[in-house]
Amino acid sequence: MLAELAAAGHDAVAVDLPSHRPGAGTDDYVDAVVAAAGPAGRVVLVGHSLGGLTVPVVAQRLGTERVAALVLVAALVPLPGTSWHARTRAEPGIMAEGFGRGQLRHDDGTTSWPVEAAVENLYAGVAEEASPAVVREAVGTLRPQDWTVTREVGPLSAWPAVRTVQVVCAADRVVDPRWGRTGAVVPGAEVVEMAGGHFPMLTRPAELARLIGEELRRDG
């Protein structure tokens, strides 16, 4: 998807979050995104899946003078004043039924995916939408995942006063699309539904890049 954005004349950066580091919290994730954003310039922040817990806090830190919009793609969305774990307990059905099956838990608090479990669960449907080669490449980049960001009460004080687009993936097998369709996940957000599963950057990169590009042009 970065290639599609670059071809359309947009600067795009995929931020390497410290998600594999035991104990890394939201502020650590935000530091990485802020560093990648640089000291100046308007940005559209895109958060996919677990990254949805980070980008609103980045917007809070950078402020509305720098952040043009948030695009949440099949994202977990924080609720100010609580943890993600608490939100899932209060709102059953956020995660798709059966998600997480096959993950390994480690003594340092991280989890990891064995190859077969990742193919059959995390990347379910990607081979059909794209190709087995795309799945193999994606699985090869996986790292352990620490879950501090889901357990801590996040630093988001209120939802940022910026345009928010919430992308619901119709066949998502990670985040249940029925949750996103309610319109109550982020009050005031524009809800856009996209065909396919949890990883449109792998299976529908041109379509997702067009959506993000529209937000960049809107601000221009």
Residue matched to tokens 């099949």: 74
pTM over 0.85: yes
| pLDDT at residue 13 tops 90 | yes
Pairwise CA distance, residues 211 & 31, whole Å: 26
State the pLDDT confidence band at 187, using cuts at 50, 70 and 90. Answer: confident
Q: What is the pLDDT of residue 220?
A: 62
Q: What is the DSSP string of 123-134?
A: TTTHHHHS-HHH
Region 152-159: what's the mean pLDDT? 95
Q: How far apart are CA 51 and CA 36, in angstroms?
A: 15
Task: Tell whether domain 2-97+152-219 is in CATH 3.40.50.1820.
Answer: yes
Average pLDDT over residues 17-24: 96
**167 φ, ψ (degrees, to nearest 5):** -95, 115
> DSSP string covering 159-177, please?
--SSEEEEEEETT-SSB-H
Over range 193-215, report the average pLDDT.
Answer: 95
- 183 has pLDDT over 80: no
* CA nearest to 68, candidates 43, 34, 41, 35: 43
Q: How confident is the model at residue 168 (pLDDT cuts 50, 70, 90)?
A: very high
Q: What angle do CA 106, 113, 102 make, to 5 degrees?
A: 90
Query: Distances in Å between the alpha carbon of 195 and those of 38, 62, 128?
Result: 33, 32, 13
Q: What residue has token string 């080669």?
A: 133
- Residue 118 corresponds to which tokens in the numbers above? 């990742």
Average pLDDT along the chain: 94
Task: Tell me the β-bridge partners of 145.
Answer: 111
The arithmetic mean of pLDDT across residues 62-71, rounded, is 96
- Give the range among 10-24, 176-190, 195-209 with minimum mean pLDDT: 176-190
- Write down the pLDDT at residue 116: 96
Interval 174-184 mean pLDDT: 89
Whether residue 2 is predicted with pLDDT greater than 80 in this model: the reply is yes
- pLDDT the model gives residue 1: 85
Q: Provide the residue ranges of all domains of the chain, joining segments of one domain with +.
A: 2-97+152-219
